[in-house]
Structure 1
Amino acid sequence: MKFLIDAQLPPALCRWLRDHGHEAVHVSEIDMIAASDVAIAARAEADGAVLISKDEDFILLRLPDRFVLLWLRCGNATNRALVAWLEPRWARIEVLLGCGERLVEVR
């Protein structure tokens, strides 16, 4: 799968995703760190990427089903804590995305 990581998540998440066999790019790697949510949404749509974000605004921006959103509902965390939170949930997330889910909310 191909992922686009939003600004409020760390670039280290890209490395973790790549280690799990996925393509991943952080907005900072493509000069979009200061881009608007609208521009980031358009980029996810154009690239056919799953957008990973903690930002609730993307729920509305994805309508009508413009791109796949993986919405992480976790608080601020260190890189290590984020990965520790995500790791036990990841297999289920991959299944849902692989089955065609277009909005996956992770708590």
Structure 2
Amino acid sequence: MRFLVDAQLPPALARWITLNGHDAAHVADIGMQAATDRQIWDYALAEDRVIITKDEDFAQRKVLAHHSPAIVWMRWRNTRRQELLTRFETALPAVLAALARGETLVEVI
């Protein structure tokens, strides 16, 4: 699975995902820290990456789009980095299972 972690999430999340056997990049790692949602969307489509985001705009765009990348929408309040990583570790098996079933908008609550 190939992931693209959006700007409002820490680069440590992309590193953690990579350490756990998946291909992940943070937008800052690829020079897209200041990119628009559209640019991130287009990059994810071109590179076949799943966007991990806290930005509701991606979920809304997903619902309206004919062709789109898969979106993992993390609907958590702001947390410290370690808490976020711990919670994501718990959520990852369900996220991967949902993506494997073909779900293209996965909400993590």
- TM bucket, shorter chain: over 0.9
SS of 1:105's equivalent in the other structure is strand
For residues 61-80 of structure 1, what are the structure 2 equivalents within 5 Å? 61-62=61-62, 63-80=65-82
SS of 1:84's equivalent in the other structure is helix
Residue matched to 2:5: 5
Residue 84 of structure 1, aligned match among 83, 86, 95: 86
- Deviation, 1:60, is 2.9
- Look up the equivalent residue of 2:54 and give its one-letter code: K
Residue matched to 1:47: 47
- Look up the equivalent residue of 2:18 and give its one-letter code: R
- Distance, in Å, in 2 between the alignment partners of 1:72 and 1:64 is 22
Q: Which moved more, 1:3-12 or 1:87-96?
A: 87-96
Instruction: Please report the RMSD computed on the Cα atoms of aligned residues, expressed in angstroms.
Output: 1.0
Identity value in percent: 42
| TM-score (norm: length of structure 1) | 0.94
- Look up the equivalent residue of 2:77 and give its one-letter code: G
Residue matched to 1:93: 95
Offset from partner CA, 1:11-66 (integer Å, 9 cap, x none): 00011101210000000011110011111111111111000000000023331241
Uncovered stretches (5+) of structure 2, i.e. residues with no partner: none
- Distance, in Å, in 2 between the alignment partners of 1:64 and 1:82 is 31
